[in-house]
Chains A and B, each alone.
Chain A
Amino acid sequence: MDFFADRLLDKRVGRKVVFIGNEAVARGALEAGIGLAATYPGTPSSEIGDSFATIAKQAGIYFEYSTNEKVALETAAAAAMCGVRSMVSMKHYGLNVALDSFLPVAYLGVNAGMVVAVADDPSCWSSGQGEEDTRYIARLAHLPMLEPSDAQECKDLTKYAFDLSEKFKLPVMLRLTTRVDHGGGIVRLGLLPKPKTKGFFVKDFKRYNILPPGKEVVRMHRELHEKLVKLQQVSEAEKINFIVNEKVNSKVGIVTSGVSYNYVMEALEEIGSVPVLKISFTYPLPEKKIKDFASRFETIVVVEELDPVLEENVRRIAPDKKIIGKELLPVAGEYKPEDVLLALSKVVGKKNNFDFEKQEREFAKIKIPSRGSVLCPGCPHRSVFYAAKIAGGETTIFPGDIGCYILGMSPQYAVQDFITAMGASIGFAHGIKKVSDQNVIAIIGDSTFFHAGIPPLINAAYNKSNPVIIVLDNRITAMTGHQPNPGMGITAMGDKTKEVMIETMAKACGVDSSNVKTVDPYNFKETFEAIKTALEKKQLYVIVARRECQLLAIRKKLKEGIEIQKFEIDAAVCKKCGICLRQFGCPAIHMEGKNYVIDDVLCTGCSVCAQICPYNAIKPKKVEKVREK
């Protein structure tokens, strides 16, 4: 047992623990007696699934990392149809993948509570795709949505969502954002019931009949709207939408939700009390409550991140009031507490204490070298990027994909020209090949290949296309925090299972056997030659670059006490050509004075820098072998 598992399954009711929002969601689901959970990891939602993975066996529930969000949603919905409470979690763009199944599930309904936890990512801390606002999807799906502001609410609203879902026989959406997912706070533990994990599918042709002409589907649609009317009455009555500072005399009132509520409350501590209506029931909105609240003020300020969803509704509900929203606070990017403080102090007419502008001016005077996300030292992707860049040259097009390897966009490598969605590199590579004679290399990770790379590969083979596809198989789903995937032969619950071989899969998709090649990225020459050959062949070609994520490899080595052979640069031989320092871009290589040096702590001993050095100046370190306990 470890610190994280202990707390998730702590039976002491009333005990206070610090959870991040995602852990609190998992705990809330456990307190609701969940029997099955499924996810495809996507930051910022990943730790919901990881929490289940930590305790599923011990708690006696079923948990899986599904191959993609659509499958995860289907798995959870099926459980709930069979009468077992279930949760599916994903990031915003993951919900788009699942949407095809999600919308019909709303029509069919569930029998036990089902909660769909979806995490938006304002400011795109971990999303290259966009700042999608999933609040729109609640309306599209005709489903209730709840929105917590902190860890305690994450737990409470999750638990409540299960009851609500079961009462209305509808999935309930729980909308989170990065700062709520990864924001820690004190959570009071509740009772952990024995989970119900076995269900039964009751055949009901009348209920599930969707055969055209669409009479029955139209009935389902109508019933959904009838449920929404009732759900709105619940939303009106629920105390999860509440007013703070109700008795304060003011011309201004604030309506807010999600993480913004915290910033509003913190700002008011500094600039004085103003009545606040906090909305946790995002859809359907408590319209009467909003109307009554608005009627007391001249001006309503709406504070919400991303799109003006709440604002547009408040304008509609209280058309005669002055509504201030997105003209005060931006529509793009997350809010910081000082943004809300400054905005509200303007409206209320009270000055805040600290001069933020001066602070920024002073800070701007400090010169600090740039930093950004980089591939880790020893990352096997680096070798492939460098090889692809040299073999492909500037004339090759690299449609990108989603994983740690989006860092291939870094200027050193420039082997990801554009990125859209999971698995999309192959579809785009195929499309380019159909209209252009340019060389095309799609670079995609193992987990992403299983997620959405297979249909476009079949499509490319079937439609006689010929891009080169490199699958970076680092034996794990790395970017989101090292979750297992079908290529590993291990399940989320730690059980051994059948390993799906990417090579076999590629051949089964229709790629010619002689055009499927496996390389070790730590063998630079082999990797480079394979890419060169593939490009020359001008046929559909799949290269599997297989090497375990070095973060895991190094962890295993340390644990087993295996010595790591570090490398060093011989200053007498080094010509300072800059290939290792600037082009290869390993963070372990830096300059000390005028010499190039390899950091002894950071070096993982991958040896690729030694292989690419044109002067053989990089050698295994002889003097002392570093050994950590």
Chain B
Amino acid sequence: MKGIFNIVIIGAGGQGVLTLLKILAEAALKQGFDVKTSEVHGLSQRGGIITCNLRFGENVYSSIVKKGSANLVISLEEMEALRACIYASKPSNTNFLVNSYRIYQPMMYLKNEKYPDRKQIVKGIKKFSRRSVFVDATLEAKKAVGNTRTANVYLLGRAKREGFLPLSRECLLAAIKEFFPEKHFEINKKAFDLGMKK
């Protein structure tokens, strides 16, 4: 891998955005990279959407992904992939991995705004990306392991399978193992493996 790899993770509170960030950071560390992350805490978390950043490479200064410089966007909510486009661009070959799960917000109805349909979202992303993959991770995770909260780890497996992540399966699994308490490891490994499977 040349230069710095920039990841933007977007999702709602409770979807496991921070968990995903911490696992990825740990995996990048295990792979021998310098790592910087940016988290969101406090009121900005409440009910709304949070955006976290992860950057790894030989030597990383800032923890913030610049506009247009993301190499990978993982959006745990469908429409938020659009908001992440500011970080994405053709020159950066941004790949999008989007969970087709939708979270609506009261403000939309107060302002009479409509949730965009899939076509509009795909079209919006197109200008800013190399490739985008949509997957119903929340449903898949629920079907496979009976727990919607493993959707984040399922997406991690999927990102690896799509070739979106310059991190080895071993490092990712080792990070998952380190992060979760022993009793939750198996269920998360199962979700990860499922994401990796064709």
Interface residues, chain A, CB within 8 Å of chain B?
2-3, 16-18, 20, 43-44, 46-47, 125-126, 150, 179, 182-186, 261-263, 265-266, 269, 336-338, 341, 354, 356, 359-360, 362-363, 366-377, 379, 404, 406-407, 410-412, 479-481, 551, 578, 581-582, 585-587, 589-591, 599, 601-602, 628-629
Contacts and interface: CB of A to CB of B under 8 A. Distances in A.
Contact of A407 (B21, B46, B49, B147): B46
Interface stretch (B100-108, B154-162, B165-173): B100-108
A359 B68 contact: yes
A374 B48 contact: yes
A436 B104 CA distance: 41
A338 B69 CA distance: 10
B37 A359 contact: no
A582 B106 contact: yes
A586 B104 CA distance: 10
B46 A182 contact: no
A183 B38 contact: yes
B83 A368 contact: yes
A184 B13 contact: no
A354 B124 CA distance: 20
Given A183-B37, A601-B148, A369 B67 contact: no
B181 A2 contact: yes
B63 interface: yes
Given A360-B86, A581-B106, A629 B147 contact: yes
Contacts of B89: 354, 359
Q: Considering residues A182, A266, A366, A601, which has the most beta carbons from chain B within 10 angstroms of its beta carbon?
A: A366
Contact of A336 (B48, B64, B80): B64
A404 B109 contact: no
B131 interface: no
Given A368-B116, A373-B47, A412-B106, A182 B39 contact: yes
B26 A18 contact: yes
Given A43-B41, A356-B68, 10 more contacts: A3-B181, A20-B39, A43-B42, A46-B41, A46-B42, A261-B61, A359-B68, A376-B13, A404-B46, A410-B106
Contact of B105 (A20, A126, A374, A479): A374
A266 B105 contact: no
A18 B25 contact: yes
A412 B106 CA distance: 9
Interface in B67-105: 67-69, 79-80, 82-83, 85-86, 89, 91, 103-105
B114 A369 contact: yes
A363 B85 contact: yes
B43 interface: yes
A375 B63 contact: no
Contact of B103 (A3, A480, A481, A602): A602
A375 B26 CA distance: 32
A73 B47 CA distance: 33
A179 B63 contact: yes
A359 B86 contact: yes
B43 A582 contact: no
Q: Considering residues B38, B39, B105, B138, which has the most beta carbons from chain A within 10 angstroms of its beta carbon?
A: B39
A337 B89 CA distance: 17
Contact of A374 (B46, B85, B116): B46
B110 A411 contact: yes
B41 A369 contact: no
Q: Considering residues A46, A337, A480, A578, which has the most beta carbons from chain B within 10 angstroms of its beta carbon?
A: A337
A525 B46 CA distance: 26
Contacts of B124: 366
B106 A585 contact: yes
A598 to B, nearest CB: 11
A362 B87 CA distance: 12
A336 B69 CA distance: 13
A379 B13 CA distance: 14
Contacts of A2: 181
Contacts of B13: 376
A126 B44 CA distance: 6
A338 B48 contact: no
Given A185-B35, A371-B107, A262 B40 contact: no
Nearest to B145: A629
Contacts of A601: 138, 148
A182 B106 contact: no
Contacts of A581: 106, 109
A587 B105 contact: yes
A629 B150 CA distance: 11
Given A262-B61, A341-B66, A18 B46 contact: no
Nearest to A261: B61
Given A366-B85, A585-B106, A479 B46 contact: yes
Nearest to A600: B148
Q: Considering residues A341, A363, A481, A601, which has the most beta carbons from chain B within 10 angstroms of its beta carbon?
A: A363
Given A184-B35, A412-B106, A481 B26 contact: no
Contacts of A374: 46-48, 105-107
B164 interface: no
A183 B42 CA distance: 14
Contact of B62 (A262, A368, A599): A262
Given A150-B36, A367-B116, A44 B106 contact: no
Contacts of A263: 61-62, 64
B108 A369 contact: yes
A49 to B, nearest CB: 12
Nearest to A355: B68
Contacts of A16: 29
Contacts of B40: 125, 182
Nearest to B26: A18
B43 A126 contact: yes
Nearest to B64: A337
B64 A179 contact: yes
B193 interface: no
B110 A262 contact: no
20 contacts: A3-B22, A3-B178, A18-B22, A44-B42, A183-B38, A184-B63, A263-B64, A354-B67, A356-B67, A368-B83, A369-B115, A370-B105, A372-B48, A375-B47, A404-B43, A407-B46, A412-B106, A412-B110, A551-B14, A601-B148
